[in-house]
Amino acid sequence: MFAPIGSTEATMTIYLDGRAIPARAGETIAACLLRAGVGHFRTTPVSGARRLPYCMIGHCFDCLIEIDGVGSRQACLSEVEDGMRLHTQDGPAAIAGMEFQ
Amino acid sequence: MSSAIELASAGCRVIVLDMQPLPGGQIFRSLEANMQARPRTDALLSALGPAYRAGLALIERFRAAPGIDFRPGTTVWDLRADGTVGWLRGNAAGYLRAPHVVLASGAMERPTPFPGWTLPGVMTAGAVQTLMKAGRLKPEGRIVLAGTGPLIFLLADQLRRLGVKPALIARTDRLGDKLAALKRVRPAGIPALAKGVGWLARLRLAGIPMRTGISGLQALGGEHLESVRLLAGGKNMDIPCDLLVVHDGIVPSTDLAHAAGLALEWKRDDASWRPRTARDGRARMAPCPSFTTGPCRIRITGDARRIGGADAAAAHGRHAARAILADLGRIARKQGGPDRTEAEVRRTLAARPFLDAAFPPGLAARLPDDATIVCRCEEITAGSLRVAIRNGAADMNLIRGLLRCGMGPCQGRSCATTLARLLAEAEPGRPMPPSPFRARPPLRPLPLGALAGMTGLDPALAQVESLDDKPEEIAGDDVHA
């Protein structure tokens, strides 16, 4: 859906569900994952529907994703960091050490 | 930025809290970084055009002004009329309080519920622009732009310069809107008008298909957008599509103003709320129990006050700063007619009456049908909201409690206006709800670790002593005055 304008200048690597994705310093996680062609960042807690970013400026909260073990973070507001570990969020955010039904 | 420069130049100490990593807001988003990355970003800068690069002068003045304490990457999650501001930066949170607060939180795109608007592959025009400016990305594949407003043309023209050709530009506005709007053109608005005509001419020349007066937009697909259906010229059109870009104009971001207990007003012709402010931006308190006493210390400026675009925002920011300087006794209050900054505000808003009439809300003009999702977070349909309203739920907060509409992570930013209009639909003549859902801090997610380690002006502020967990008015000095 999105292609880089010019060269990407990726000097970092982030990981989504274990998959390595090249990242450019200063870009948001959302931009990085969209360039990589990621099909959805999360599924909704209600129906399990897939979602991708909608507004990209922090209003819609559809870009929620798990960043370094913390769920429901806004990918459109968070910058990439080298070695960052992301997980597609299925339904509500998981809380470390807690199990829901 | 212009407010901060004006205040700092007069010797005030100014703290600027900005959610973005770099100054420039959404219009001049990532401009500094894109200029520094030249020549790699030449193609991008050339596509974004001179109006984007023009922001550099303002950013450079902002960076150079002594006395500005710029705090990027900072989220504001609480605001009170007494000038208290709750902030979050990384995993640190705290409170500040200032004798004057300028709220410049900008605008958001008008929420436009239509069938399929939650599908991956549907995005707003602003989102695509952000991906261009900050992500250095361009859309590819089969693209449809749908909706109305100058941003549709600007984006299409920027895409054209990048060699991206949308399959269709589907506009809800009609030629009749333009003709009716012509009588609102003022001389100072003519340059903006000429710009629009130029965009249109270039898009026509590039052979990009365009339809006006479209309606009944639907995004269709299983797990991702596959096609777009719409009604144009009385006929159904089905267009295979990878990316549907929607835009229906922008509306003020009212979340912070509303949470601070400031009065909002419903603008009927624009179907949106905006804060009630004086000409210099001074906000008014809503007539309801307040968590603070004393005069309101908040001024609202830019698109958060009234939609006007970048030039109008900068002009009003300066005007609001001059009013603060007059309050502080640093400059003489202008007697009689408008001062220089007020005249500038008027000049920069001159094109608005024409634009508002030429591009009325389109995608959101009609309320959605029963099957359409209104609340994106909790996936509440218009139909279930209508049932609750028919069964007697006549209040926004009650409906939130009953159905969870507006209770998800976005806190009603996407659904509040639609629900307010559904309430009005059920009982025509009833006044519009005076405000969106009741808002309580934190207005944005606050990590528990940040809350636990919160610093502030008063340690007691971090303690929850009762269910009314808002701090009471705090007697004593303004630490940050």
Residues in chain B with CB shorter than 8 Å from the CB of A68 are: none
Residues in chain A with CB shorter than 8 Å from the CB of B131 are: 2, 31, 34, 56
Tell me, yes or no, whether A7 lies in a domain: no
Q: Is the pLDDT of residue B247 over 70?
A: yes
CA B254, B256, B259, B264 torsion: positive or negative? negative
Higher pLDDT, B282 or B429: B282
DSSP per-residue letters across A38-70: -S-SEE-TTT--EE--SSSSSSS-TTEEEETTE
Domain of B382, in residue numbers: 373-426
Residue of B130, B140, B377 lying closest to A56 (CB–CB): B130
Window from B59-63, B259-263, B335-339, B417-421 with minimum mean pLDDT: B335-339
Tell me, yes or no, whether A45 lies in a domain: yes
The enclosing domain of B58 has a CATH number of: 3.50.50.60
CA distances from B419 to B142, B231, B361, B370 (A): 33, 25, 16, 13
Mean pLDDT of chain B: 91
Note whether B108 contacts A31, CB cutoff 8 Å.
Answer: no
Would you place residue B177 in the very low, low, confident or very high pLDDT band (cuts 50, 70, 90)? confident
Tell me, yes or no, whether B76 lies in a domain: yes
Note whether A34 contacts B137, CB cutoff 8 Å.
Answer: yes
pLDDT single digits (tens) B203-245:
999 999 999 999 999 999 999 999 999 999 999 999 999 999 9
Window from A72-76, B185-189, B273-277, B459-463 with minimum mean pLDDT: B459-463
Give the per-residue pLDDT at B105.
97
Q: Is the pLDDT of residue B305 over 60?
A: yes
Closest by Cα among B110, B116, B212 to B168: B212
Q: How many CB atoms lie within 10 A of CB B156?
A: 24
Distance from CA of B424 to the nearest CA of A (A): 24
Give the per-residue pLDDT at B338.
65
Domain of A68, in residue numbers: 12-90
In a shared domain, residues B244 and B126? yes
Rounded to an integer, what distance in angstroms lies between the CA atom of residue B479 and that of residue B481? Answer: 6
Rounded to an integer, what distance in angstroms lies between the CA atom of residue B15 and that of residue B435? Answer: 29
Give the per-residue pLDDT at B475.
42
Would you place residue B474 in the very low, low, confident or very high pLDDT band (cuts 50, 70, 90)? very low
Q: Is the pLDDT of residue B375 over 90?
A: yes
Rounded to an integer, what distance in angstroms lies between the CA atom of residue B353 and that of residue B335? Answer: 28
Cβ pair B294, B313 in contact under 8 A: no
Residue of A4, A52, A73 lying closest to B136 (CB–CB): A4
Where is the domain boundary, B248, B264, B291? B248
Q: Is the pLDDT of residue B467 over 50?
A: no
Cβ pair B246, B146 in contact under 8 A: yes
The enclosing domain of A26 has a CATH number of: 3.10.20.440
Residues in chain A with CB shorter than 8 Å from the CB of B375 are: none
Residue of A46, A53, A60 lying closest to B379 (CB–CB): A46
Tell me, yes or no, whether B442 lies in a domain: no
Residue B89 pairs with which residues in a beta bridge? B74, B92
Tell me, yes or no, whether B77 lies in a domain: yes
Window from B66-75, B262-271, B372-381, B447-456 with minimum mean pLDDT: B447-456
When pLDDT is averaged across residues B378-382 and rounded to a whole number, the result is 98
When pLDDT is averaged across residues B175-191 and rounded to a whole number, the result is 85
pLDDT single digits (tens) B21-78:
999 999 999 999 999 999 999 999 999 999 999 999 999 999 999 999 999 999 999 9
Would you place residue B465 in the very low, low, confident or very high pLDDT band (cuts 50, 70, 90)? very low
pLDDT single digits (tens) B337-368:
668 899 999 999 998 999 999 999 999 999 99
Q: Is the pLDDT of residue B464 over 70?
A: no
Tell me, yes or no, whether B96 lies in a domain: yes
Q: How many domains does chain B have?
A: 3
Distance from CA of B377 to the nearest CA of A (A): 8
Distance from CA of A72 to the nearest CA of B (A): 9
Tell me, yes or no, whether A22 lies in a domain: yes
Cβ pair A27, A14 in contact under 8 A: no
In a shared domain, residues B139 and B222? yes
Tell me, yes or no, whether A82 lies in a domain: yes
The upper half-sphere exposure of residue B226, i.e. CA atoms within 13 Å in the direction of its Cβ, equals: 4
In a shared domain, residues B76 and B9? yes
In a shared domain, residues B287 and B384? no
Tell me, yes or no, whether A60 lies in a domain: yes
Tell me, yes or no, whether A2 lies in a domain: no
**The pair of three-digit structure tokens given for residue B465, joined into one six-digit string:** 């002593």
In a shared domain, residues B185 and B282? no
Q: How many domains does chain A have?
A: 1
In a shared domain, residues B101 and B175? no
In a shared domain, residues B242 and B274? no
pLDDT beneath 70, residues of chain A = 99-101
Would you place residue B481 in the very low, low, confident or very high pLDDT band (cuts 50, 70, 90)? very low
Q: Is the pLDDT of residue B374 over 90?
A: yes
Tell me, yes or no, whether B449 lies in a domain: no
Would you place residue B191 in the very low, low, confident or very high pLDDT band (cuts 50, 70, 90)? confident
Distance from CA of A18 to the nearest CA of B (A): 22
Cβ pair B245, B256 in contact under 8 A: no
Q: How many CB atoms lie within 10 A of CB B469?
A: 10
ipTM exceeds 0.85: yes
Question: Quick check: helix, strand or coil at residue B122?
Answer: strand
Tell me, yes or no, whether B341 lies in a domain: no
Distance from CA of A87 to the nearest CA of B (A): 18
Q: Is the pLDDT of residue B272 over 90?
A: yes
Q: In A, residues 39-78, which contact B (CB 8 Å cutoff)?
A: 39-40, 44, 46-47, 49-62, 64, 70, 72-74, 76-77
Q: CB of A26 within 8 Å of any CB in chain B? A: yes
Residue B38, judged by CB atoms within 10 A of its CB (0-12, 13-18, 19+), counts as exposed
Give the per-residue pLDDT at B470.
44
In a shared domain, residues B235 and B262? no
Tell me, yes or no, whether B458 lies in a domain: no
Q: Is the pLDDT of residue B283 over 90?
A: yes
Cβ pair A47, B379 in contact under 8 A: yes
Cβ pair B131, A34 in contact under 8 A: yes
Higher pLDDT, B336 or B274: B274
Residues in chain B with CB shorter than 8 Å from the CB of A3 are: 137-140
CA distances from B298 to B258, B304, B442, B480 (A): 12, 12, 19, 15
Tell me, yes or no, whether B128 lies in a domain: yes
Give the per-residue pLDDT at B477.
43
Rounded to an integer, what distance in angstroms lies between the CA atom of residue B255 and that of residue B437? Answer: 10
